[in-house]
Structure 1
Amino acid sequence: MNIDKMEFLNWMDRIMRRFDLLDENLNNIGKQKSNIDGEELLDNQDLLLMLKISPRSLQRYRSQGKLPYYTISGKVYYKLSDVHQFVKDSLAVRRFG
């Protein structure tokens, strides 16, 4: 199968425009944060990286009621304000405990 140079360039241009659209859509999806009551939600992975703790420690904080959480469609989320309060409470216990 032979195609001329102009036809090939037109095809490549169409393909590149598709890639640009896909890239834009992926960027928009990535920018969307989960929210509840207008507040940002974090998932387990976010907290593990943020707090530099193990999955077991995170589970223990949930089980002990130290860190409030929400389950949405089988996935666990945490309100950012609850995480901030958890950190403040943890620091207060270490300082005065």
Structure 2
Amino acid sequence: MELLTRNNFEGWMQKLMERLDRQDELLLAMKAEGKQPAVTESIRLFDNQDLCMLLQISKRTLQRYRSVGALPYKTLGKKTYYSEEDVLTFLSNHIKDFKKEDIAFYKARIHNFFHK
């Protein structure tokens, strides 16, 4: 195993900075072309684990909702996210899949998730 020297460290840091600069340029180019929607601070996102926990469903059930198009999602990198608005709309439109008395419970859990 190679020892970490000042020159090695500076070399790795330089490579890291170059890579971050390239990523910055790519993101700015995508934003300028309009390919990436502007993300505001008001958009709240859930990942798979959050949504499974909040709705008390399995990952497979969540995958099925995505596959049939019932639950809109966004993929950033390799991770899937769901907006709070889409989840609330999904709950409202699919009440028959959930017990009616549970809908208010799930909506309250989602609200409390962001307002701790």
Shift >3 Å, 4+ stretches: 92-95
Q: How many residues align?
A: 61
Match of 1:65 in 2: 69
Cα 1:79–1:56 shift into 2, 3 Å: same
Match of 1:31 in 2: none
* Amino acid in structure 1 at the alignment position of 2:55: L
Q: Does 1:39 align with 2:10?
A: no
TM-score by length of 2: 0.48
| Higher strand fraction (1 or 2) | 1
Structure 2 unaligned spans of 5+: 1-38, 101-116
Q: CA deviation at 1:93?
A: 6.7
Cα 1:85–1:55 shift into 2, 3 Å: same
TM-score by length of 1: 0.57
Q: Does 1:76 align with 2:48?
A: no
Structure having greater relative contact order (Cα 8 Å, sep ≥ 6):
1
RMSD, aligned CA: 2.1
Q: Identity, % of aligned pairs?
A: 45
